[in-house]
Every structure is written in C-alpha cells, then in structure tokens.
Structure 1
Amino acid sequence: MTHPASAPLQGREAVFPAPEFERRLDALRVRLAETGAEALLVTGPENIFWCTGRQTAGYFAFQALVLPASGAPVLLVRELERMSALTGTWIGDIRLWGDGTDPAQALAGIVRQMGIARLAVDRRGWFVSAEMSEHIASALSGVTLLDGSGMVEALRMVKSAPELAAIRKAAGYAQAGLSAAIEACGAGVSENEVAAEMMAAAIRAGSEAMAMEPLVSSGPRSGVPHATWRRRIMAAGDGVFLELAASHDRYHAALMRSVWIGTPPAEVQAMMDCADRALEAALAAIRPGAPCAAPHAAAQAVIDGAGYTAAFRKRIGYSMGAAFAPDWGEGAILSLFDGVTQPLAPGMVFHLPATLRSYGEFTVGASETVIVTETGAEVLSDLPRGITIR
C-alpha cells in the first residue's frame, strides 16, 4: 500500500499526467466488460507501462497489474521496486513481494482479497516463463481464468497526442545519432568508434535507454541481418549498415541508412535505388482505411519488378511505440505485411525499413518512422536516404 507520507512522491517521475492513464484504463475496462471477467491480469512490461507509466531497469523481476472492471487497480512489484513504482505511476495501491518470498502467492492473495472469481489473463506477457505461468495458475486455484490476451495491444495500436509528441522527440534523437554515425564512417575507423559516436550523439540529443542496441556493421558483415559492432576496421570498398532506435519516455523511433567507403559498384547502387523506390511506394500507400498489407504490397511490387525478390524476404514495416529490451518495436502488435487486414488509422506509428541484401556481402537501403495522418504519412526525419559516400 502507498503510505500517506509517500503522497508527495506519487507520480513525481511519471511520463504523463494522471488523466492520460485514467483514460487508458477506462478504455481497457470497456473491453474487459465484453469478456464477462471481473478483472484483468497484466504482466508484460510494455503493457504495464502503457496502463500505468511503470518503468524501471528492474523489470526482469516479476510484476503484475490487476485491473478490476470497476474500482482502483492494484500494482504488485518486488519490494526493492516500491519507490520506482511510487514515483513513476499514479497507482494508489502498490503491493510488494520480498526477495525469498513467492510472488505468485502474493498475487493470489491480492486476487482473493479483491473477491475476484473470474480473472482475464494477458497470456502474451512474455517476461513470464511457462513455469511461472503454471505456478500462477496453481496459486489461483478456484479462480476461473479467462483469456485476456490482446486487449491492451488493441488499444496501443493508435497513439494519443502525448504519445505522438514523445515519438517525434525520439525521432529527432535518432536522426542526431544516425547523422553522427554517418560522419564517423571511413577507412581505418572501427565499427566500435562509429557505434560510440552514434549512441553518444543520440544520448546528448536527449535519448534515454534504448530498448535494443543500435546496429553497426561493415564489409561482408553488413550482409548479415541484425549483426552489430564487433571491432572490425572499415576499409575502402566496404558497405556500412547503420540503424538506431532512440527513445523519449520509453517511446521509440527508428532510422536506418547506408554508407559506402569509396565508390559503390553499379549493382550496389542499383539495389539502393530500388530500395528507395520501394520505400517511396510504401509511404505513398499509407492512408487511413487502407489495409496494413497495402504498403507492403506496394514495396514488394517495386522490388519484384526490379528482379530483387530474393534480396527482400521480410515485411516492409512494423508498429512503433513504447518498448523495453530486447525489442525496440511493436512488431508483435501490428505488421505491414501480406494478409494483415487491419485498417490503417490516424495515430498509428510504423517503422519502414526498406532493405535489400546480398546475404553475407552487403545490405543497402533506408528507413523512416512515420505517423499515419488523416491524409497519409508524416515522415519523422529529413535525413537524405541515398548511399552516403565516405
């Protein structure tokens, strides 16, 4: 419980005012009512953050939010995390479990004290192991457990004005980092030096902790997806792949660009030109009401038409928003890909990485983080997209 003496500390570090979270919880209660459950159990760090503003580097320890269909929510955290929960949220009822005690039993005690007989469970809380899930179910014996998966994610798809403001700031930090990284590239420079300049510039610009490390790879390593810095020294003729997602109040925006040390071969330039056209086609296909598959189809048509189908084996984009390590995106919520019929709507945010690869040799392309508007897409960077020659 929050003690009266702690009241002045309540919400002191909160990312948004209390009404923003009250609005979110009210919207979630509407969805909860449709299930017939008396409460929703949320355990994923991103979903708990969206509901409460709760954030900490200690989210590896078990935490849970119990949101009743009516009444005040209860937040359960490790005892060491009490102060971060108090200062970072507006939740008035914070319960604790101590090291050496059983958090599942603490959770069960809360549920029973609240008189909850039918509990919807967010089964996508991926920081809870299968073993812990079974332990929680056992501790909640006698309580009917319903599937509450996807309720929070459905509300996270469209961002509020405060969320969009945070993402725009994060985009500025990302551009500062990418600009510094591009400037740092050159023959004789190590990947580590470039990564250091990238991160330093983004952090100086305002970025907080990033939910995933930046990607910096050069030469043949740049043709390996998701490879990142490993002390390699760049040399003439190397391609360099650079990608970063910076954050503001846990909201992320990503940006990716390509560099070549010297003059790129004709095939490299042709692939880069194709990637740029594919990105432009995808951006042009973003409009409210269009299915999420439409931008991907537009990009894929350009790539297929140029004969580079084998060089592009992925979706053209994924949702962005609040993120915790190890992923900077919301790709598990919404993708721009074949078969995704969810309509695009104003306030949705996506990262569109248009990359073409000669696997194990090089990668070229560019990306943008965009906000869906009433008329199309708001691109959040103005960094040139072509290959930068260094």
Structure 2
Amino acid sequence: MEQRQESQERDAQSRITRLRQRWDDGIDALLILSPVNRRYLSGFTGTAGFLLVDREGQWLATDFRYWEQASKQTPDWTLIRQKGAWTEALQEAVADRGWRNIAVESDVVTLEQQQKLETALPAIRWVPRKGMVESLRAVKDEGEQAAIARAAALADRGFQHILGCMRPGMAERDVALELEFFLRREGAQGVSFEFIVASGERSALPHGVASDKTIGTGELITLDFGCILDGYCSDMTRTVIFGQPSAEQRKVYETVLEAQERALAAIAPGKSGRDIDRIARDVIDQAGYGDRFGHGLGHGVGLVVHENPRLSILSEDILEPGHAVTVEPGIYIPGWGGVRIEDLVIVTSGGNRNLTTSPKELLVL
C-alpha cells in the first residue's frame, strides 16, 4: 500500500509537469475547481477545495475537515487553509503574486462561481480554457491502466457470480442489488453508474436501469455494469437468455458480436474514433438493423465512466497508446428487445489489450 501511495504521488507530479508543457503565454496560472481534475493532478481525494498552478508553484486549498488528509496525500503541494468562503482562500493564494490572467475551466465553472470570482478578485482577468486537464486524463499512465484493469477484473468476477444467482421470476432490481453487493464485498469502493438490468421488451432500452419487472424464460437480458477501484471505473455489458433463443434472437446477437469483434480488431494508435465506429456500424447496417443502433460505439473510461476519447460518428478523436475505451455496439428493437456486448480495452503501441475476459458467446442459462 505504501509503494502504491508513492507511485500515485510520482504520477500526480508527472501530470503537473505535462500540464505545464502545454501552457500558453496567455495565462499566468490555472484555477482548478473540478473535483475530478483536482484529484487527478494532486492525488487529493477530499470533497472540498481548489488547486492553483503556475509555471513554478502549486497550491491546494481545503478546510479543517480535510487538512490532515491533504497533508498526507499531497506532500508536494503548498497547502492553504480555507477558514471561510473559498473565494477568501483564493484571495489569499493570489495576493502579491503579480498574476493578471488566470485560466478557469470554462466547462466546469458555473455562472454563480464566475460572478464570485469577478467580485473577489476584480483586477484578475479570468480566461476561459476548456479541456486543459481532460486532454491529459484521456491518456492513462501505467498506474491508471493497472487500476482500470483491476476494476475490470472485479467486474468479470461479478458477472460470473451473478450468472450463478439469476433465476427466472427474479426481479431485475434484485439482480442489480445482488451484483452490487458482491462487488462491494469484494472491495469495490462504489459502482461506476446505476446498473442496467433490462429483460424482455425492456432490453430494447439502451439505458434501461433495473426495474421491478420479473425476468421470464425466453427473454434476452442485458447486464451493463461497472465498479470503482482505487478511484478508477470499469464498464462492461453482456446479454444472456433463459431458455433456448429464437432464430431472430440468435441472428441479432451474432450480428452485434460480429460488429464488436471487427471494431476490436481495428483499434490501434492513429485510428479515428469515427472510423472505428463506422466499422461496427457497417456490419449492423448490412444485416438490416442500421436504424436500430442509435448510440456511439464507445467512450473513454477513467476517474469517471464517460470521458474522452469517443468512438462515434461525430468523433474527431484520434486513438493513442494509453487510451482506455469501451467497444459496445447494440441493436434495439422496440416491442421485441435488444442486444449489447461491451468490452473495455487499452490502446497499446501495437493495437489494444482487452481487459474484459468474460465469454461473449450467447449464454443460455
């Protein structure tokens, strides 16, 4: 555990170095209010505080509740004790530094926060900057990749567990509850999102969170879930069935599986998110289900379960080694049901490494 803490501290400091390498001349410092970006850059896991970074220094402000925690988690940061409003701590941090232009996360700061900034420090020009930290977060370092892999491995174990528990007549909500209990008992700090357990006609809902509906024989059942370990998320989906599937159910399933496998085989550095999405979408189009695949093929996974890069028809992202992305094509037919299969992969220098090991043939329970 101590070695892991030291590794996390080194990783955090490396991220600050990479952030400074992307600095532009239009700003003197960067204010971080996003809790996710705060954790990513500093390693601080408390729920209150902000970061300030310039070309040479780095400051973390937090209050009494987290002071000792911050002292242990962020030894390379200068701490500022927040005694009143956060803007008062900010005034103290900025005083006498000669800064004139401070960047703010334009996609994070609310109108109310912007007004407070302008009131507290009227001489400062607050410069909007989007994605300065998020662009760093998209490429996972070795420690992050290891954490995501551990979370994916636990999700795989959760899938094997729930297969042994599910029975016809069981409510979707009870399936989700048993799965979450198992993951937490095995060490998960939380779940990546509200679990999707959708059976029968409800499996046509891409985000059909678990309901009171009971699962019947002959119904497709979509299980989409993930857990959090060491702050990092996993995400996987499998579709199973009680009883023998119909010919159409098998056709839909095999179409989704072929689409996913072709997309997985193509993932490599230099490929665009749009092109990978098109590979899977073409398979589904050719099978006659093109209008039944209405979402993007995948998304980045990290400290949050949906982040950059994106695999979709609108994506302009280019894959790089260290990207962690899902590959999750689906077909959804209203009034009939649906199928989705999802793996989580790390882009490598030579292609990709699939972190999801659960079987993908149609499991007949």
Task: Tell me which interval the TM-score lies in, with the shorter structure as reference length.
Answer: over 0.9
Partners of 1:289 and 1:12 lie apart in 2 by 34
CA shift, 1:95, in A, is: 2.4
1:21-76 Cα deviation digits (max 9, x unpaired): 111101111212x24311111111221111011224xx3x5x311111112x1112
Provide the residue aligned with 1:166 in structure 2.
147
Question: Who is 1:39 aligned against?
Answer: 29
Match in the other structure for 2:9: 18
Distance in 2 (alpha carbons) for counterparts of 1:361 and 1:131: 46
1:216 to 194, 197, 204: 197
SS at structure 2 position matched to 1:356: strand
CA distance in 1, matches of 2:72, 2:212: 40
Q: In the alignment, which residue of structure 2 is the partner of 1:282?
A: 263
Give me the TM-score of the superposition, normalised by structure 1: 0.87
Unaligned runs of 5+ in 2: none
Compared with structure 1, are the counterparts of its residues 52 and 12 closer, same or farther at alpha carbon in structure 2 (3 Å cutoff)?
A: farther
Cα distance, 1:80 vs structure 2: 2.1
For the 8 Å contact 1:177–1:197, the answer to whether it is kept is no
Q: Deviations over 1:192-239 (max 9, x none)?
A: 331122123323333222232222222333222322223322222322
Identify the residue that residue 103 of structure 2 maps to in structure 1. Answer: 120
Summarize the alignment of residues 360-379 of structure 1 with structure 2, pairs less than 5 Å apart.
Answer: 361-379=336-354
Q: Note if contact 1:121-1:146 (Cα within 8 Å) is conserved in structure 2.
A: yes
Aligned to 1:66: 52
Q: Is contact 1:281–1:298 with CA below 8 Å preserved after alignment?
A: yes
Give the whole-Å Cα distance in 2 for the aligned partners of 1:315 and 1:148.
26
1:28 and 2:19 aligned: yes
* Aligned counterpart in structure 1 of residue 252 of structure 2, from 266, 271, 287: 271
Asked whether the 8 Å contact 2:260–2:327 carries over to 1, the reply is yes
Moved more, 308-317 or 101-110: 101-110
Measured after TM superposition, the shift of residue 383 of structure 1 is 1.0
Contact 2:268 2:348 in 1 (8 A): yes
**Partner secondary structure for residue 133 of structure 2:** helix
The 1:143/1:302 distance shift into structure 2, 3 A limit, reads: same
Give secondary structure in 1 for the equivalent of 2:284.
helix
Matched positions, count = 364
- The AA in structure 2 aligned to 1:189 is M
The answer to whether the Cα contact below 8 Å between 2:220 and 2:338 also exists between their aligned partners in 1 is yes
- Structure-2 separation of matches of 1:245 and 1:260: 20
Shift in alpha-carbon separation, 1:123–1:78, aligned structure 2, 3 A: farther
AA partner of residue 104 (structure 2):
V
- Which secondary structure state, in structure 2, belongs to the residue aligned with residue 184 of structure 1? coil
**Superposition RMSD on alpha carbons, in Å?**
2.2
> 1:201 aligned to 182, 192, 196, which one?
182
Q: 1:12 to 1:112 in 2, by over 3 A?
A: farther
* TM norm structure 2: 0.92
Q: Would you say 1:293 and 2:270 are equivalent positions? A: no
Q: Please point out which of 88, 98, 112 is paired with 1:105.
A: 88
Once the 2 structures are TM-superposed, how far is the Cα of residue 361 of structure 1 from its aligned partner?
Answer: 4.1
Kept in 2, the 8 Å contact 1:14–1:89? The answer is no
Runs of 4+ off more than 6 Å: none
| 1:136 maps to amino acid | L
> Per-residue deviation at 1:386?
2.7
Cα pair 1:14 1:90 within 8 Å, conserved: no
Return closer, same or farther for 1:277/1:39 CA change in 2, 3 Å cut-off: same
Please name the residue that 1:175 is paired with. Answer: 156
Match of 1:80 in 2: 65
SS of aligned partner of 2:22: helix
Alpha-carbon displacement from aligned partner over 1:163-191 (angstroms, at most 9, x marks no partner) = 11111111101111122223322212122
Residues 9 and 43, structure 2, Cα contact 8 Å, conserved in 1 = no
Cα displacement (A) at 1:12: 10
User: 1:252 touches 1:329 (CA, 8 Å); kept in 2?
Assistant: no
In 1, Cα distance between equivalents of 2:60 and 2:283: 49
Secondary structure of the residue aligned to 2:319 is coil
Task: Return the letter of the residue paired with 2:36.
Answer: E
Name the SS for the 1:151 alignment partner.
coil
Q: Does 2:325 match 1:338?
A: no
- CA offset digits 1:274-307 (Å, max 9, x no partner): 1101101111111111222221010011111111
**Per-residue CA distance 1:343-363 (angstroms, 9 max, x = gap):** 211111101112211135422
Aligned partners of 1:285 and 1:294 also within 8 Å: no
Displacement of 1:337: 1.5
Deviation at 1:14, TM superposition (A): 4.4
* Alpha-carbon distance in structure 2 between the residues aligned to 1:306 and 1:24: 45
Change beyond 3 A, Cα 1:310–1:253: same
Q: Work out whether residues 180 and 191 of structure 2, in 8 Å CA contact, stay in contact via their aligned partners in 1.
A: no
Preserved contact between residue 259 and residue 387 of structure 1 (Cα < 8 Å): yes
